[in-house]
Amino acid sequence: MSNIVAIVGRPNVGKSTFFNRLIQRREAIVDAVSGVTRDRHYGKSDWNGKEFSLIDTGGYVLGSDDVFEAEIDKQVELAIDEADVIIFMVDVESGVTGMDEDVAKLLHKVNKPVFLVVNKVDNAKRAEDAVEFYSLGLGEYYTVASINGSGTGDLLDALVEVLPEKETVVNEELPRFAVVGRPNAGKSSFINSLIGEDRYIVTDIAGTTRDSIDTKYNRFGFEFNLVDTAGIRRKSKVKEDLEFYSVMRSVRAIEHSDVCLLVLDATRGFDGQDQNIFWLAERNRKGVVILVNKWDLVEKDHKTTLEYEKAIRKEMEPFTDVPIIFISTLTKQRIYKAIETAVEVYNNRTKKIKTSVLNEVMLPIIENYPPPANKAKFVKIKYIMQLPTPQPQFAFFCNLPQYVKEPYKRFLENKLREHFDFTGVPVSVYMRKK
């Protein structure tokens, strides 16, 4: 599970440019996965072999300047609460502003590492101007220019030095299912319908991840840990509808789980925030089951379910091989089906395929549909193996890996899905030099 680094600061200081630079620089990108661009406020990055999750709070503030102040305070408080390290970004062009001082005041109370980063410092004159930021009382600062990346190396060196060592949770071999989704979609009701009055709870492991509650659950022959994000320390100060809040919360739960049960509100559809959470799970290569809740409230005819499902899959492209289950926590309709499906997805995610079987099935397919030739050079795939990772990743060994393009990799992924059932699980395909 990686550390969370949050970038805070007032609008227009360059947080997003800096964020994009960190997650897209070649050596700092962990996964260039399709769909990454859909959600620009969360990414994984690594530096000197240390991986961390990066959150850009800037992407979540909408509204006019006077609305900004309250929102920014909320976000900084949340970031302070949820992140392990905070980057506070200011802008040398405008100097110290009142808003910067407000943010600094909030950060003074924190006992977590805070890095003051002065942006847009691209010449010696500006480096001199940066001195005035000492007045914020946060000690040393780092100067960067996010536009061309100068200074980011030194900052990252210092940053990974202070990242707390994450204790790896001992794998108890029990699957971990996280219940995620936007506020008011019915996460709590889903968990209560499962656990409810039933006395099947074996143990409560409080705060395994510092802030999500794990419940060991054993029923109908299934045993798993339920990671509940719904009932976590609700902050009175935080408005429940804050998109940033749900994402921040989901990040920890998702990173800490094997399968995510994404609860949607049927009356609202699969909207931006649900999609953010979905791509978060996909990017972290977790299993996913989509639960469309409150299905009892939807007017239906014989086509409704199919059309609804089609609309969701359209938004999920290209990762569409995901189970969608229509439930009602009120009438308990299909909630055990949901758990059964999560168990199947967990089994798909941990599935190991023998190398001999893999080659037997895939080589004839590749022979019939070889990768397109590139510059009159032919790609020959000789051998395939599954990598020893917690989730399905496959290496295809060939003579010219650099010539195999995305569409062909997707073709291979689809064939793997067709023959080996990886429903609900992201599959990674790598080309390696023979």
Q: What does the DSSP assignment read for 186-208?
A: SHHHHHHHHHTT---EEEEETTT
Distances (CA, A) of 395 to 383, 402, 430, 433: 8, 14, 5, 10
Q: What is the pLDDT of residues 315-340, one digit of tens each?
A: 998 889 999 999 998 888 898 899 99
Using CA atoms in the order 243, 244, 246, 252, what is the torsion angle rounded to 10 degrees? 160
**How wide is the angle at C-alpha 39 spanned by C-alphas 34 and 41, nearest 5°?**
135
Q: What is the pLDDT of residues 186-229, one digit of tens each?
A: 887 787 777 764 433 333 333 333 345 567 777 767 788 887 66
Q: How far apart are CA 120 and CA 93, in angstroms?
A: 7
Binding site per annotation, positions? 9-16, 56-60, 119-122, 181-188, 228-232, 293-296
End-to-end CA distance of the chain: 32
Q: What is the pLDDT of residues 84-113, one digit of tens each?
A: 899 999 999 989 988 889 889 889 988 899
**Which are the contacts of 326, defined by CB distance < 8 A and separation ≥ 6?**
266, 292, 295, 305, 308, 333, 334
Q: What is the mean pLDDT of residues 377-393?
A: 91
Q: 3-state DSSP call for residue 216?
A: strand
Binding site per annotation, positions for GTP? 9-16, 56-60, 119-122, 181-188, 228-232, 293-296
Residue predicted with more confidence, 128 or 213:
128
Return mean pLDDT, the chain. Answer: 80
Spell out the SS3 assignment of 266-287. Answer: CCCCCCHHHHHHHHHHHHCCCE
**pLDDT reported for residue 292:** 95
**Of the given ranges (97-101, 164-168, 271-275, 361-365), which has the lowest mean pLDDT?**
164-168
- Candidates 84, 59, 85; CA nearest to 72 is 59
**How wide is the angle at C-alpha 150 spanned by C-alphas 148 and 156, nearest 5°?**
120
**pLDDT reported for residue 164:** 77
Q: What is the pLDDT of residues 68-86, one digit of tens each?
A: 666 666 767 777 777 889 9
Measured in degrees and rounded to the nearest 5, phi and psi for residue 40 equal -90, 10
H or E stretch covering 307: helix 304-316
**pLDDT reported for residue 232:** 43
Q: How far apart are CA 204 and CA 217, in angstroms?
A: 9
Question: What global pTM score does this model have?
Answer: 0.67
**pLDDT reported for residue 433:** 87
Q: What is the mean pLDDT of residues 279-302?
A: 89
Q: Are 353 and 419 in contact (CB under 8 A)?
A: no
**pLDDT reported for residue 213:** 56
H or E stretch covering 3: strand 3-8
Q: Are 112 and 80 in contact (CB under 8 A)?
A: yes
| Nearest-10 crossing angle of helices 65-82, 98-108 | 20
